[in-house]
A and B are shown apart, each in its own frame.
Chain A
């Protein structure tokens, strides 16, 4: 089993390394980040340097989340569309193992990229003579934890629908959108419009908001860390909570994806 897992993870990591789409995406974003880091080189103010550092770290982590989702989406859709799973499942390699390998390979890539971003943050802090704050570690660790859930969710979407549709669902029809709709319908009900239809719509939006995965489940509690890059001793627990949430989400998405893969009539 270890041999099979290793072989699949190696093949998937090779896929990421050679994916031109991911490479192009990464290059464009790195170019933009590099341009963003140019102005502080000509400034002497520590505050401005810190603001730039905070912005760069935030942008890079946001980019990492999109990249992680993209990796989950691509690894499934590319294999399904190229129909090369025929070569895998006609050997003693079970769908359970293959899917786990795909997830672990994306997670490994995400971890590596998170470490690179963390390293860049530390390097910039040193270059701009800023204290290296523990918030950098917290933000990177949280981004990695969140990316695990995103990878699993996008893998599930890619398994059951066309990749373009999956991307649209993930980017637009996500929990944030339905949260806003939920807030809007609740406000309308409070202002006096209490029709049955509106109540039903509110229930629907609320249900969808609860059902769809959240990107940052403890957003309110950790917002301060993202802006100040400081962590209070009592705040580290949110990292564990985030990890717990994304691992539970990943396990759920893995089971549904596996079910969908096994139910496919034609590989």
Chain B
């Protein structure tokens, strides 16, 4: 569906035209129907990669293809593609309603007033529809971007930091909408710094660092359960057994890790002392931890005995 092979993007900067490598051999493969997340630090090359996919940036070298075609400016293949930019690069002189109508009509299809009104209503923009974009907040501009993205039910969506500046209610609704679109069969490529959001939505993830893909895999392979360690949360009453590690106290509440070998001892202690146990579950490696460990080089993706891939910390 979307392929990038050894893509390099170099920018000349400064007086001596020093070359900055925005992408340094990026290789990616997004499959049909994927909810694909690009994760990385600032400057890792996520947005640059997206610009290359959309033909907005010509790579210095390498090959990029969407649906088997090279992306060109305004190509016909964008009939089924929608893009939400990170920065609100909109036509600021248009009003909320005019901008939504204009962007929607660029697909070459007539859009009814009702469709526009419904879309604005859904995103809570109905009362601001006569407001020029120049006077809108960042969140409102983002909502206009979302409205124009979703109006034609695209097959491929490119979302660059889609929930930046949105209020929590809209974030939740937007997430649901994305799930619906994905279930309908659309392919979604999303950049985000909100890793918890990616955990909720994506099925495949690529972690980028300095213009390269460090890891590209199923999300599940990056979210492994540690079989040897439990995470416990309890009300301590001053008693904290010495076998607990990484102890954190917040008021009466204690958070710590418990080795599997001492589980019975801990349960016995809880029963005997009458401590209030809030949580006791196998420690889960979050995407945030995997990301941190992989980018810092403290972890690698290895194959376990069952033939599944998992993140192992060195």
Contact = CB atoms under 8 A, between A and B. Distances in A.
A87 B91 contact: yes
B58 interface: yes
Interface string A1-36: 101101110110011001100000000000000000
Given A4-B108, A87-B85, A90-B56, A14 B93 contact: yes
Q: Which of B85, B90, B106, B108 has the most C-beta atoms of chain A within 10 angstroms of its own C-beta?
A: B106
A86 interface: yes
B74 A18 contact: no
Contact of B74 (A82, A93, A265): A93
B51 interface: yes
B89 A91 contact: no
A11 to B, nearest CB: 5
A82 B90 CA distance: 8
Interface in B77-121: 77-79, 81, 83, 85, 87, 89-94, 98, 102-103, 105-110
Nearest to A4: B108
Contact of A3 (B79, B91, B109): B109
Contacts of A90: 54-56, 74, 78, 81, 83, 158
Interface string A244-267: 000000000000000001100111
Interface stretch (A48-56, A94-102, A122-130): A94-102
Nearest to B145: A87
Interface string B61-86: 00000000000011111110101010
Contacts of A8: 106
A162 interface: no
A191 to B, nearest CB: 46
Nearest to A6: B105
A18 to B, nearest CB: 5
Given A84-B89, A262-B73, A11 B78 contact: no
A18 B93 contact: yes
Contacts of A87: 83, 85, 89-91, 103, 106, 148
Contact of A265 (B54, B58, B78, B92): B58
B94 A86 contact: no
Interface residues of A, number: 32
B57 interface: yes
Contact of A7 (B75, B78, B106): B106
Most buried by A among B56, B74, B102: B74
A95 B73 CA distance: 7
B74 A91 contact: yes
Interface string A76-91: 0000001110111111
A3 B105 contact: yes
Given A11-B102, A84-B89, A1 B74 contact: no
A215 B55 CA distance: 37
Contacts of A261: 73
A91 B106 contact: yes
B108 A95 contact: no
A192 interface: no
A77 B174 CA distance: 34
A10 B92 contact: no
A131 interface: no
A92 interface: yes
A84 B106 CA distance: 13
A92 B76 contact: yes
B108 A3 contact: yes
Interface in B10-69: 51, 54-58
B245 to A, nearest CB: 49
Given A3-B109, A265-B57, A86 B74 contact: no
A84 B90 CA distance: 5
Given A14-B94, A262-B73, A93 B57 contact: no
A96 to B, nearest CB: 8
Given A7-B102, A89-B55, A93-B106, A15 B93 contact: yes
Contacts of B105: 3-4, 6-7
A138 B115 CA distance: 47
Given A82-B92, A87-B85, A266 B57 contact: yes
A3 B136 CA distance: 28
Given A1-B108, A14-B93, A86-B83, 14 more contacts: A6-B105, A82-B91, A83-B87, A86-B56, A87-B85, A89-B56, A89-B73, A91-B81, A92-B74, A94-B74, A95-B74, A97-B74, A98-B74, A262-B73
* CB-based closest 9 A-B pairs: A94-B74, A7-B105, A91-B106, A89-B73, A90-B83, A83-B89, A89-B74, A18-B93, A267-B56
17 contacts: A3-B105, A3-B110, A4-B108, A7-B102, A11-B91, A86-B89, A87-B103, A87-B106, A90-B55, A91-B78, A92-B74, A92-B77, A92-B78, A93-B108, A94-B73, A95-B73, A266-B56
